[in-house]
Amino acid sequence: MREKVIWQPSPNFDDRGEGVPTDMLVLHYTGMETGTAALARLTEEVSQVSAHYFIEEDGTIFQLVEENKRAWHAGVSSWRGEANINARSIGVEIVNPGHELGYRTFSDNQMASVSELSKDIVQRHGILPTHVVGHSDIAPARKQDPGELFAWDKLAAIGIGLWFPQGWAADLTLSSLSVGDGGRPVQRLRGFLRGIGYTVADIDMFDEELVAVLKAFQRHWRPDLIDGVADSVTQSAAEEIFNKSVRLTPSKTQLT
């Protein structure tokens, strides 16, 4: 794997901090018109942004920052109660113009490189499936990447991240929840999302904060419908991913 990576150093990094584990993998899209422009931005000092790796549409992999250093890719973000995501994560930028500039499917060569690189990173650092996320997962109010066209299911098939078991089916008897709803069903949904890793308040109201988090959840686990409404499928999906998270990290994932 390492022999396939091209070294293209960025000046935008610093130390991770003593005793901070590298226990997350965060995937992004570049959100710029071309890969060339994105690589230039990530490697120029004035931008103050970077990532550890950068994957072109033809599958070429560049490394910009050493893994033992903190790259500046996550911004204001949080996951599973941790806020300093840059300090504990490996960041991978994947070339795609994004939602504002012509969002499109990630190429087969690109996904092959994402899969190979991600598997290598996860195995070397012992990163749990619960800690493989998109930028939108850790910053749902600000970000949409890598978005609904990213093949999370294919990554999960090789052990990278969480997905549904074969034959999984939603409980279609659940009543839909949306802005203005409240009570125990909303509190239960918030508990599922919080247990997965999202930062959501422990209240029983369906508000705009919950809409943003649900859209992030849907981009990752229900990409066919991103509306911020918790219909029966979205609620069932949240419960399933929560339950899988519990089985992997029972001491840290609790439903309240």
- Name the residues annotated as catalytic: 93
User: What radius of gyration, in Å, describes the C-alpha atoms of the chain?
Assistant: 18
Separation CA 92–CA 52 (nearest Å): 6
Type of residue found at 171: D
How many Cα atoms are found within 13 Å in the side-chain-facing hemisphere of 166? 1
CA 243 to chain centroid? 18
Separation CA 55–CA 216 (nearest Å): 23
How many Cα atoms are found within 13 Å in the side-chain-facing hemisphere of 25? 24
